[in-house]
Amino acid sequence: MISALDLFRIGLGPSSSHTVGPMRIAARFLQTLEDGGQFESIARVLVELQGSLALTGEGHGTPDACLMGLIGFQPETADPAEAHEAAAAVRASHRIALLGRREIAFDPATDLLLDFDHIPDLHPNGMVLTAFDAEGGEIARHEYFSTGGGFFSSRHQLEQPAPDDQVVHGPPVAWPFGSGAQLLEVCAESGLDIAGVMLANEAARRPEEETLAGLDMIADAMNQCIDSGLEREGLLPGALKVRRRARSIHQNLLSRPQDNQAETLMDWLNLYAMAVNEENASGGRVVTAPTNGAAGIVPSLLRQYCSEGRKAMPAKARRYLLTAAGIGLLYKQRASISGAEMGCQGEVGVACSMAAAGLAAVWGGTPEQVCAAAEIGMEHNLGLTCDPVGGLVQIPCIERNAIASVKAVNAAKLALHAGETPRVSLDQVIETMRQTGLDMSSKYKETSQGGLAINVVAC
Ligand code: SF4
């Protein structure tokens, strides 16, 4: 079972798979060598980015994320400005302080390579790190895969999982479930709702008060991200020269209130989602939910329905986040939340499904209605492609989060109004997403080789 606190991970934009994952991988590689007593022998590090990490890496900030990880920054704690400055200093000086203390030469032109021709067999987001000693001898060469949402695996772990491998097996939990049907069964058996089941399962990892504090911190980080996005203006990074819009929309909403409540609701949902995704696109601090590209949807509904002003209401926010996480981990376990594997249905589609479920729970829905909301949230995102223009997480990503936020509310409404057992189950729609993702051409899976990416000029 994946922890809710792993699914919602505080990190830096613009991409969980292409920024957060590579940063964690680079730091883990060096930490592994340090644990093995080889760190002091390192004279050169070579980073090779493969598949989607190469094809859209520049636009997604992957090379700089690798530098940050080698320096020892962790996505959860890094100050965005400080981390970006440190990466720029490496590019200027051609020197890098590994884990912040062992300085060696590092020329990004020769030591950080984008291997466009190599699509790894196990996962399209491949990353190979090699360390050499002063004589040029190879100390270690490890192959990793950034699997979406900031999670990663190594080839060794996937092919030969150790019996006590926590990532593969996880600690035993009170109410294990591996499908939507099993989730409903454990709810019926335990008498708990989905949030209650998730909270009971989190107890296998840490005391309950720590889990609740972690959830509150995530809710705060989501609201802070919205606030930052509402304050900033100007152009987003990259050749597209996309202008931030959240601040001006916010000012318009405040100065010209509308009479029509339904339209006003859409405006606010759009605004909150866009504020987060503009922060994400600028490399700011966001919460993966379940990815960075789709990071605006869960916070948008959190702000609108589980917050008072800028502050989350703990009981509502915890129920919302735990329920959304319970649905999100089903997608992670049964399919994938990686745009490089599933297209955007695996990112924005999953986020819409999670948010719809969380809102249905906050509105008092039964576990069956919550799963129906999750199903509807995905059903109408099936087939959604990933074709970011210029490889940047901006077009279509920012507006797509706004549209999906409104859709998530609608999905929750439809589920709560439905009077009968839905014809399509949550498990069926997750499996359909998985199969659709496998059938989808790689042109539409975070490679920027098709769709909007080739029909819109990027400069
Ligand atoms: S199109 Fe969707 S999956 Fe692709 S980068 Fe944008 S948000 Fe992520």
- Asked if 396 and 347 touch (Cβ cutoff 8 Å), the reply is no
pLDDT value at position 160? 62
What is the whole-number distance in angstroms between the Cα of residue 339 and the centre of ligand 1? 6
Q: Which residue do the tokens 């030969």 mark?
A: 160
Q: What is the pLDDT of residue 278?
A: 98
Exposed/middle/buried for residue 386 (C-beta within 10 Å: 0-12, 13-18, 19+): buried
Tell whether the torsion through CA atoms of 375, 381, 382 and 387 is positive or negative.
Answer: negative
Which amino acid does the sequence have at 414?
L
In 3D, which of 1, 4, 2 has the Cα closest to residue 321?
4
Mutate to test the pocket of ligand 1, among 19, 337, 348, 394 (most ligand atoms within 8 A of CB): 348
Does 207 sit behind a cis peptide bond, omega within 30 degrees of 0 on the bond before it?
A: no
Residue 254 has a pLDDT of 93
Position in ligand 1 atom list of the atom nearest CA 388: 1
Cα(347) to centroid(ligand 1), Å: 7
Burial 281-294 (b: 16+ CB within 10 A, else e): bbbbbbbbbbbbbb
The domains of the chain are located at 4-159, 180-204+206-455
User: 17 φ, ψ to 5°?
Assistant: -80, -30
Cα angle, residue 329 at apex, residues 388 and 431 outer, rounded to 5°:
75
- 3-state SS, residue 223: helix
In the prediction, which pLDDT does 11 show? 92
Atom of ligand 1 nearest to the CA of 60: 5
Question: CATH number for the 4-159 domain, one of 3.30.9.10, 3.20.20.300, 3.30.1330.90, 2.170.16.10?
Answer: 3.30.1330.90
Q: Which protein residue has the closest C-alpha to ligand 1 atom 2?
A: 344
Q: How far is the CA of 385 from the centre of ligand 1 (A)?
A: 8
Residues with a CB atom less than 6 Å from ligand 1: 293-294, 339, 344, 347-348, 386, 388, 393, 396-397, 400, 446
CA separation for the pair 352, 295 (Å, rounded): 10
The pLDDT assigned to 161 comes to: 60
What's the pLDDT score for residue 459?
64
According to DSSP, the β-strands at 285-288 and 9-12 are antiparallel
Hey, which residues does 9 pair with through a beta bridge? 288
pLDDT tens for each residue of the chain, 459 residues long: 899 999 999 999 999 999 999 999 999 999 999 999 999 999 999 999 999 999 999 999 999 999 999 999 999 999 999 999 999 999 999 999 999 999 999 999 999 999 999 889 889 999 999 999 999 999 999 999 999 999 999 987 666 665 555 455 578 999 999 999 999 999 999 999 999 999 999 999 999 999 999 999 999 999 999 999 999 999 999 999 999 999 999 999 999 877 788 889 999 999 999 999 999 999 999 999 999 999 999 999 999 999 999 999 999 999 999 999 999 999 999 999 999 999 999 999 999 999 999 999 999 999 999 999 999 999 999 999 999 999 999 999 999 999 999 999 999 999 999 978 899 999 999 999 999 999 999 999 999 999 999 999 766
The answer to whether 285 and 300 are in contact (CB under 8 A) is no
Atom index in ligand 1 nearest the CA of residue 294 equals 7
Query: Which residue's alpha carbon is at the smallest distance from atom 6 of ligand 1?
Result: 397
Residue to mutate, 386, 405, 445, ligand 1, most ligand atoms under 8 Å from C-beta: 386
